[in-house]
Amino acid sequence: MIKSILLDLDGTVYHGTKPVAGASRFVQQLKQNGLDCLFVTNRANRSAPTVCRILGEMGIECEVENLLTSAQATARHLSPGKFYYIGEEPLCQALVEGGHIPSEDNPDYVIVGYDPFVTYQKLEKATLFLRAGAKFIGTNPDKVLFTEYGIIPGNGAILAALTVASEVEPTIIGKPERVIIDIALQQLNISPQEALLVGDNIETDVRAGHNAGVPTALILTGVSSREDLAQSTLQPDWVVENFEELEELVFSP
């Protein structure tokens, strides 16, 4: 029995600053039917209050307890320690709130999230720390970002540069790894089979559900298409064109 929906954001609930048709109504219906909704996002460069405000401006109800970012998941997953980070301020904020200490003096971790202002100097420091034994953590592995003006490098591109330079492979917290999904299930206090993970990307959302043992629904509002599905060995439990079809799946007797 489904008790909670784990709902992806980018490409699923919105495209940039525009909400996907039907997303707001679906979230409202979840609440009316007594089902929890936890937004689970690979983004580490927006704080939970910021994401909630953005969703609110789109007419989608969200409180901070209804959201799990890869930055928050990273902070919860790691044992307390000193960290050097590449990323934006919300990543550092989440780590500090989680009891970790920013440091450029022999850090325990090098933690990397998407950083549009990454510099050679940041990569240089991170490489030296990694080669000195710091643990390499990536908030998410997304290789590219889809924007209104085209495809640009994502966090995976930064991770790739550091992997080549340091000869160390990162531990990934966000989707498609199960870490962020396991934390989401713990937050909701439910078993994997009591959740449904809904997302637009076979390789991140569907694979994360598969890795964590959570049923998945691929919604065709974003990255993955039916053509991608036909060529993939990884298959979701359900495929829906839009939120109208998702409503039928979730709420039909």
Residue 142 falls in the annotated catalytic set: no
Other beta carbons within 10 angstroms of residue 243's beta carbon come to 23
Residue 104's beta-bridge partner residues?
none
Annotated active-site residue 8? The verdict is yes
> Which of 8, 36, 108, 205 is an active site residue?
8
- Under a CB-based contact definition with an 8 Å cutoff, are residues 169 and 186 in contact? no
Q: Who's near 41: CB < 8 A, 6+ residues apart? A: 8, 9, 10, 51, 67, 68, 69, 70
Closest CA to 74 of 4, 188, 177, 201: 177
Please give the structure tokens belonging to residue 235: 């298959």
Q: Which residues are identified as catalytic?
A: 8, 10
